[in-house]
Structure 1
Amino acid sequence: MNGIYPELLVVLTRITDSEGYPYFVEAKITDTYGKAWIFVDKMPVFTSRDKLVFPCVGRPSCTIEEEANDPAMGKIFLISTAKPYGVSTEAGESASFWILEEQLLYAGEAESKDSSVSFDALSAKSNFFSKEVTDDW
């Protein structure tokens, strides 16, 4: 969404607060070790779209703290949601966790991909979305 920071691919699952504007939405992702992370923040933090049909793809900006090569998973990244927008978990904590390379968009990719990238297209590319939506949270 910003063209400077990498973006994390998350699943937006629902509106959590529609009293004010912008609305608050819930976002979910599973890290490389199977831990589910749930975030709640203003809709513009995750997407530039005004109308959403859930589940859909969100792209909050993040920072990369470390990069590694895992023999089983390939390239993985330790990311932080603290910067640039202070995205925190539903418990109110900023998060740092390891993700797969396919869960990350770099600045150039983020600019070249349309914000209407379909949930189905990304689900077909990677199985990390199917787990997000079907598991019991």
Structure 2
Amino acid sequence: MSKGTEKIKIGISVGDINGIGLEVIIKTFLDSQILDLCTPIVYGSSKTVGHYRKALDVHDFSFNKINTAEEANHKKANMIDCWEEDVQIEFGKSTENGGKYAFVSLEAATKDLVDGKIDALVTAPINKDNIQSESFDFSGH
């Protein structure tokens, strides 16, 4: 748990990059009142978020880019880039990349949770078919 009077740090995985997760995340942070309750840290990609911002016609919002959870600004929505490559977004389609980057995001956020760098984890929706791999074998709940 965060020490002192700091707000809790909430890690957020982006889910399937072709799904609704990033849209919900961006729209949530358009209302800055959420920042009164917690310090959000999104595990994803600034480039991928840029595609969503353009598609949603959102110009008045951006994430505070950080390299580690310890650098989080408690007055902003923060983003840790988990991948640098430019990834093709195919809204609403199940693709191998959708699962691959959902796992990359989830793995980074989970590591920070286990290491005590964040206090809780919120996961955006994944596609249980395209995320399956040798590293992630989960049939659902």
Whether TM-score is above 0.5 comes out as no
> Which structure features the higher share of helix residues?
2
> Which structure features the higher share of strand residues?
1
Q: Which has the higher contact order (CA 8 A, sep 6+)?
A: 2
